[in-house]
Amino acid sequence: MRPTTVSLALAAALVPAVAGAQQWRTIESARQLTGTDATTVSVTFAGGKFELAPLPGKLLYQMQIHYDEQAADAVHEFDAANHQLTLGMSHANMGWRALRAMKNDEGGRMTLGLNPAVPMDLTLELGGAEAEVELGGMRIRNLKLQIGLAGSRVSFSSPNLAEMEALSLDVGLGGVQLEDLGNANVAQINISGGMDGINLDFGDRVMRDVKINADVAFGGLKIQIPNSAGVTIKAETKLGSFKPQGFTRVGDAWVTPNWDQASTHVTIVANTALGGLQVDHAGP
């Protein structure tokens, strides 16, 4: 990939070294919006605090990252020919050294804004970051979330303005909460991992039919779906529990009574261990 020069002012300020080998640096980076072609966006961050939100206006992105330059290298590259944006930290620095160096509140942090007018295939690799991610009102076509050692919250407070083909979620020890997932406008959700639990809350509506494929261990999987959507579940649980309330057994599946009448449907195929599977099908 051939990076191009960032077109807006790019400032880097070196913060005096703290105790030990840490040497903190803050970089701010942004790029002017020159078009709304679909863009592949890859974001990598090792540990600390991470925030992402829509950034309306004339910028493609705006980033600030505070990191230990003894443990990591910052990245801000845009390949204009291939419409590829790479931000955060180099993959070469995503090891335990970076996580240890940037794990506390006074350590690493990254804030990022992305323009909601641009259709995006978005990958977030967050290592040990404690993340707050707001994607409502954006145009996300595919979303990959790789979350390591800290808890994260991802929200779609308003509808995704593009049809999302797939949301892939790979969770380590930290667990994750997805809120208003019905606004994600997604066709398929693929889930793996989840040592501290995964919570999918669809909010008060489901925009389109969605299939959830889940392979979850230890922490368990909780899915909250509004009663306006029909739901069918095929589940295999090991050393856990699964007692769906308000479902009828049909063959090897559990089905809600409104399946045939509902305008949107959620199909769940789950393999869970220890923590079990919980599906709530209730109001609004």
For residue 103, is it left (φ>0), alpha (ψ between -120 and 50) or beta?
alpha
More confident residue, 173 or 50: 50
- 152 burial (CB, 10 Å; 0-12 / 13-18 / 19+) is buried
Tell me the average pLDDT across 13-37: 73
Residue 165, beta-bridge partner list: none
pLDDT band at residue 195 using 50, 70 and 90 as cut-offs: low
Contact 11, 64 (CB under 8 A): no
Asked if residue 233 is part of any domain, the answer here is no
Which residue's structure tokens are 């409502």? Answer: 136
Indicate whether 164 belongs to any domain: yes
- Asked, for residue 232, whether it belongs to a domain, the answer is no
User: How far is Cα 154 from Cα 211, in angstroms, rounded to an integer?
Assistant: 19
pLDDT digits (tens, 9 = 90+) for 27-60: 999 999 999 999 999 999 987 899 999 999 999 9
Mean pLDDT of the residues in the chain: 83
Domain that holds residue 175: 11-227+277-282
Instruction: To the nearest 10°, report the CA torsion of 137, 138, 144, 149.
Output: -60
Query: How many residues does this entry show for the chain?
Result: 284
Distance CA 212, CA 199 (A): 13
Q: Is 72 a domain residue? A: yes
> Which of 28, 73, 66 is closest to 48 using CA atoms?
66
Strands, DSSP E only, in 20-158?
A: 24-32, 39-44, 47-54, 59-68, 74-79, 84-89, 109-114, 120-125, 128-134, 140-147, 152-155
pLDDT tens digits for 90-139?
865 555 454 554 454 456 899 999 999 999 999 999 887 789 999 999 99
Q: How many domains does the chain have?
A: 1
The verdict on residue 238 lying in a domain is no
In a domain, 236, yes or no: no
Percentage above 90 pLDDT, the chain: 56
User: Taking every pair of C-alpha atoms in the chain, what is the biggest distance, in angstroms?
Assistant: 66
* Torsions phi, psi for 92 (to 5 deg): -65, -15
Domain membership of residue 94 (yes or no) is yes
Does residue 225 register a pLDDT over 50? Answer: yes
Judged against a pLDDT cut of 90, whether residue 163 lies above it is answered with yes
| Amino acid 236: pLDDT | 76
Asked, for residue 60, whether it belongs to a domain, the answer is: yes
